[in-house]
Amino acid sequence: MAGSVEGELAEAVFVEADRQARDVPGLPLLVLRAAAEAAGKVGDQAVAEHYQKLRDAERQRIDAALARKQDAKPRSRGVLRCRSRSGLTPLL
pLDDT of 19-58, one tens digit each?
777 777 666 788 888 888 888 988 989 989 998 998 898 8
Report CA torsion sign: 24, 56, 33, 3.
positive
pLDDT-based confidence at residue 61 (cuts at 50, 70, 90)? confident
Q: Helix 29-41 crosses helix 45-72 at what angle (to 10 degrees)?
A: 160
pLDDT of residue 78: 57
- 81 — pLDDT class (breaks 50, 70, 90): low
Pinpoint the alpha helices (H) of the chain.
5-23, 29-41, 45-72
DSSP structural state of residue 76: P
Residue 41 CA: distances (Å) to CA of 7, 8, 9, 17, 19? 10, 14, 13, 17, 21
